[in-house]
Structures are given as C-alpha cells and as structure tokens.
Structure 1
Amino acid sequence: MANWSDPRPTTAPFGATRARAGDAAYDAGLRSYMLRVYNYMASAVLLTGVVAMLFAAGGADSMAAQVFLNGGILRYVIMFAPLAIVFGMSFGQNRMSTGTMQALFWGFAVLMGLSLSTIFLVYSGTSIAQAFFATAAGFAALSLYGYTTKRDLSAFGTFLIIGVVGLLVASLINIWTQSDTLALVISAVGVLLFAGLTAYDTQRTKSMYAQVAGTDYEGKVVVMSALSLYLDFINMFLFILRLFGSQRN
C-alpha cells in the first residue's frame, strides 16, 4: 500500500531556515487544531455520561425508566432525535454558521445522554466502568496510530462504511430473530469496525487541516471531526459493553 505523507503546503525555496520556520508554524497550527477536535470530542463524551447517569439515577424509579417504559412517543423522540441532528449537521453544514454547528453538537451530546441512560438500568456499574476504560485505552491507541502512521488509510474508508451499513442491516434483522449468536457476532464485528474507523477518521481529520487552516470553514471542520470521533468512541464502547458487560439481576 502506498505511503501517506502530510498534506502540508510546499515551502518556498528561500533557504532551510525559512523552510523550518514554515514547518514549525504548520505543525503548531496542526497541533492546536487537533487539540480542539479532541477537546470537543472528550467534552461531549463527558457531557453524555453525566446526563445519562443523572437521568438514570434512582434505578427503576428514575426518569429514564419512566420515559422508556411508559413514555409513549417521548421515548421515540429521544431515541431518534440524535440521528436527525447528525443528518442535519452533515447535509446542512455549508449553510450553517459555526455557532449553530456548535449548539447542535452540544444538543446532540445531551440527547445521546438521555438515550444511553438505559445502559445504567441494564448493566452493572462495574461493567460500564470497565467497558468505558477499555474503550478509552483502545481509542487513544488507535487514534495515535491514525495520527502518526505514514500508511494511507483512505482505502479502508469505503470498506469500513459498507461494513457499518451491513452491521445496521444485521442489527435490524436480529430485532425479529432475537438470536444470541448473531448478537454476539454483531458486537464483535462492531468493535473491529469502529476500531478501524477511529484510526481512519483521525487520519482524515489530520489531512483536512491543510485545506481549511485559517479559513472560516475551520471551525465547522473541527466540530464535524469531533462528531465523527465521538460516534466512533460511543459505538465502540457500546459494542464492548454488550460483549463483556454483566447485566443487573
């Protein structure tokens, strides 16, 4: 496979000193850009976790239990609203301001917290904590690989996205079949797919900096990149939890 190199602009031929200065400025800008992406992503994960815990506080008597057991249409609004926001951000980003994108991003994180609160009703706290820290460790390693590797991961992008579509179809089928074996396979494949997407999305985020650095579009790219990495993290966490988590008695 072909090697992948940083898409930084070619420096002007005015001597090594100027070239090094240009590289240093580019690297500093890239680090700042990536740090913003990770800060957004980590803050959104934290916000989602806090909202989920608060909404599920009280167990069977919690707001989460009442909404998802007796909430009628409200539970479907909570379940599908995050998906609507993702599509809205993806297809409307050219028309939206950076501020609007940020507001939607934080709203998405809150709604995801409400939606994911049910895991605190199904799984033990220990299992959730173990799955979270395992995901965090794996995500950090995979993202570091995506950031530092010289191998071009773009060839895997289409394969991974097709894999996610196939995973969604299999999950819908299993709603009716209720096969424990298929559920186990779906979870195992899901971990692998979103592990690959973590590395791929990290490299893609890094490569986009050269195109948007210093433009009005940079802020939007930061938000959308953070959203992609957030989804990779959350999905990997959920599949790990389903694979290894212990349910409450």
Structure 2
Amino acid sequence: METAIEVRDLTVVRGAREVLHGISTDVPRGVITGLLGPSGSGKTTLFRAIVGVQIVSSGTVTVLGKPAGSAELRRRIGYYTQSPSVYTDLTVRENVRYFASLHSLGAAEADSVIREVGLAEQAGQMVSTLSGGQHSRASLACALVTHPEVLVLDEPTVGQDPVLREELWERFRDLAGRGATLVVSSHIMDEANRCDGLILIREGSIVAEGGPDEIKSRTGTDDLDQAFLRLVRAQDAENERGKEVA
C-alpha cells in the first residue's frame, strides 16, 4: 500500500525534556490510522511534526512525498487541533465559508459541511457564544471543508454526544473511502476498533503498530484496553531487564 506519511528517527526536545524518542512509522494512503495513547504520551507533538509546525531535534517527516511543512502541502493537509482554531468574532457560517473560499470553494459546500457536523441551527451564531462541543465542531467543519488529501485530527470526538460521535465516524469512513488519508488521535480505546490501523504510543515511544485485530491477537485478548496494558507491561519488563544487564 502506498505511503502517505513517513516518519524516520524523529526526536523532539522541549526545554530539557525529550518528548519523542527517535520514533519511526509509516501511515498508508486512503485509510484511517488511529494514534492512541494516554495524555502526555506525545500524540499532539507528533501531529505538529506531521503538519510542519513543530521544531524537531533530529529525524525526518515526509508527507505525500514532500518534507513536512513544505509550502505546497498547505492546501493538501487539514489539521484539527485540540484547541479550537476558529475566529470567535465571526459566525459559524462566516468561519467555514472563509476557509472554503481559500480553496476556491463556494457557500454551498461550506453550508453542507456545517450540516454534516450538526451545526445547522447554529450556523448564524457567533462562535464566542457556542458551547465547548459546538465550538469544537465549528473547528472540525473548517478542517473538513477543504477536502484535504491528508486529514490530521487531534481527539476530534472529545466532548461530543454518542449520536454525533457516530455521525462523525461515518463521515471519516466516507472520506477514507474516497481516497483521503486520516490520522485520528484518541485516548478512548473503543474508537480504536473503527480504525484500519493503529499506532500505540506511550511516553514518546511507539509501543506497537498494526490493525486492531492483529494487536488483539498478538496480546491474546479481545479487549484493546487490555491489549494496550499488556503491551505496556511487556515494555516495562523489557526495560527492567535492560537495566539489570547494564
């Protein structure tokens, strides 16, 4: 399968702390890849490196055959951040139509995406007056409206009700079916089963990679929470053996 994102020996240091420890991974085109791990594991830092806004200490990140951050990638990548990135002094409609116009898309396209994220009734409302969950959906609409080839989503379903979460995942699956590459982070393990492939990360290192069924089979459990715990414990045991040998 063709690769959309290639990460090689990526190290990121913030202050005196190494956040990512020389990680390497590949993300295939046209699938949904889940980046899973607890808060503080390095998920957002990896995402920032993929979209080219993170200073890296060493290693490389290549997206669609170009170095991450290249000017020619700006119109080909969509990025949904944990902190909503929309203009609070504009309405939902004005925000989404603005981002659509940057890619020569019309009002109809913008309004369609607003409906898809469940904000049709709030389309004329100032973003500053939205609830937290609605604010997040407005940001998601801005990321989706441009039809990016690669869509990086940092915990897009946090704070959303189960019905909307289901609708969003249907939207993600539809995008992948039409050839888009999605990388979705979450700390909710039940969402992992919706992904084609998984990258499990902990404390800045990749613990395991593979499809949900592959990872569960490898760890001898049908529960991804338990699978992650078993992988973590195996990693800890290996680290302890390494200390004893040293």
TM-score range normalised by the length of the shorter chain: under 0.3
More strand by share: 2
Q: TM-score, normalised by structure 1?
A: 0.22
Structure number with greater CO (CA < 8 Å, separation at least 6) is 1
Normalised by the length of structure 2, the TM-score is: 0.22
The structure having more radius of gyration, on CA atoms, is 1
- Name the structure where helix makes up a greater proportion of residues: 1
